[in-house]
Amino acid sequence: MKFSNDKVSDIQIAYIGGGSMYWAKNLIADLALDHQLSGTIRLYDLDFEKARKNEKLGNSVSDYPETKSKWTYKAYPTLQEALSGSDFVFISILPGTFQEMDSDVHEPEKYGIYQAVGDTIGPGGLVRALRTIPMYVEIAQAIEKFSPDAWVFNYTNPMTLCTQTLFEVFPKIKALGCCHEVFGTQGVLIRMLRDLKGIEDVHRDQVKVNVLGINHFTWIDQATYQNMDLIPLYRQFVDKYFESGFENNKDAWVTNPYTSANRVKFDLFRRYGVIAAAGDRHLAEFMPPWYLKDPDTVRSWKFGLTTVQSRIEKHAATKLFYEKLISGEEKLPLKPSGEEEVRQLKGLIGLHEFVTNVNVPNVGQMKGIPLGAVVETNAVFSANSLRPVYAGELPVEVNNLVLRHVLNQETTLKAAINKDKSLAFKAFVNDPLVNIDVIQAEELFETMLQNTKSYLPGWNT
């Protein structure tokens, strides 16, 4: 990297999963809109031709009049070439096809187990983890060999287990897991201030929150705006909207399977007194089947089950738009994605210091959770430094909910690395959503493993 006044050039970023049609567009736009950074994005993907397409798209943005920086995009055929000489590594991969995802999400429904997302925990999240962890073992080994000093940003789900695998394989890795779910809850608090206090134009940075938990099961026990304690106000907000729910667009959840009316979030606050800081679709999966008992129960809580068919349809629409971008028929809209990768880059480079939530190993910032387990808390970004902020401890009844999943995820990681089918089943049957007879659980587990066996080399399936 080269420094000149308040600008940094020649930054080398390896992007694993660089053939993406989704996150890549956000990254290209976010980088183009920042005037302080420039360099090279080194794209690597198992499908080299997809990486070549993003090379073309990324480089085309340099000619847009609104572009503020100069980035060169280059596809590399091997992971070694992409990683060698990189300052940063982004990992955003899709572990499997829609066929495996269909099994993750819908096979359990035959046994009365419903999942709103199926990519983090529950039977679908666990099996997805089993096929993702071997990929992350290879990635961690390659990073240790070819770019051991790079900062590594993980965006793949299951976030906790992917990040944990990186540290398990390469303990000295400088890695973090990045997720925007907490940002969404800060957005709810901003809309609360407008609704109850008439306060307009609040920026997310002005809503200070203390974050504790694990990815997609995060909690906020302190929230302030200009020294105003937001917890009592949130209690009023929950009471006002508990039955109706609260959305940007009324009843959007009815037709959009990726949104909700926040009723699960409100119910958890009423039960535990701390703010659940993820989307309802994720939060519901960490609990017993209170909210996911059946489709009618899901509808009563005003969120949707994200079917694989809806994902296929979304993928087809995205692919159509993406091909228009590649052909030049359409231009990539340059607007901020809402992600924080550029701010985090600038923090680690040393251009500024700031605090945000990330997923990193517990070194004592969160009490009540084993040391070394990956947790989601705030951390300070500064020059080549990431320092977790002391978050404290959740109420014991909430910590017990979180701890169960922490231990189950550690069991899953151990099972995946050792290819231990028996241990994997113990984690599977211990998930609160797998609320069925143990014989049925064995049948479901066997079927789901068979459906993903091509991603489980060396397993006795």
Instruction: Give the pLDDT confidence score for residue 460 in this predicted structure.
Output: 81
**pLDDT, tens digit (0-9, with 9 covering 90-100), for 269-323:** 999 999 999 999 999 999 999 999 999 999 999 999 999 999 999 999 999 999 9
Buried b (16+ CB within 10 A) or exposed e, 421-447: beebbebbebbbbbebeeeebeebbee
Q: Please tell me the pTM assigned to this model.
A: 0.96
Q: Is the dihedral of CA 369, 374, 377, 382 positive or negative?
A: positive
Instruction: Give the pLDDT confidence score for residue 151 in this predicted structure.
Output: 98
Q: Which residues are catalytic?
A: 180
**pLDDT, tens digit (0-9, with 9 covering 90-100), for 49-94:** 999 999 999 999 998 999 999 999 999 999 999 999 999 999 999 9
**pLDDT, tens digit (0-9, with 9 covering 90-100), for 81-133:** 999 999 999 999 999 999 999 999 999 999 999 999 999 999 999 999 999 99
Identify any residues that bridge with 72 across adjacent strands, giving them in sequence order.
40
CB contact set of 122 (below 8 Å; sequence gap of 6+): 108, 113, 115, 285, 431, 433, 434
DSSP 109: G
Instruction: Give the pLDDT confidence score for residue 338 in this predicted structure.
Output: 86
**pLDDT, tens digit (0-9, with 9 covering 90-100), for 155-210:** 999 999 999 999 999 999 999 999 999 999 999 999 999 999 999 999 999 999 99
Identify any residues that bridge with 214 across adjacent strands, giving them in sequence order.
217
Q: Count of residues for the chain? A: 461
**pLDDT, tens digit (0-9, with 9 covering 90-100), for 212-242:** 999 999 999 999 999 999 999 999 999 999 9
Report the C-alpha gap between 356 and 347 in whole angstroms.
11
Can you list the domains of the chain with their CATH numbers?
2-179 (3.90.1820.10)
Please state the rounded mean pLDDT for residues 364-383. Answer: 98
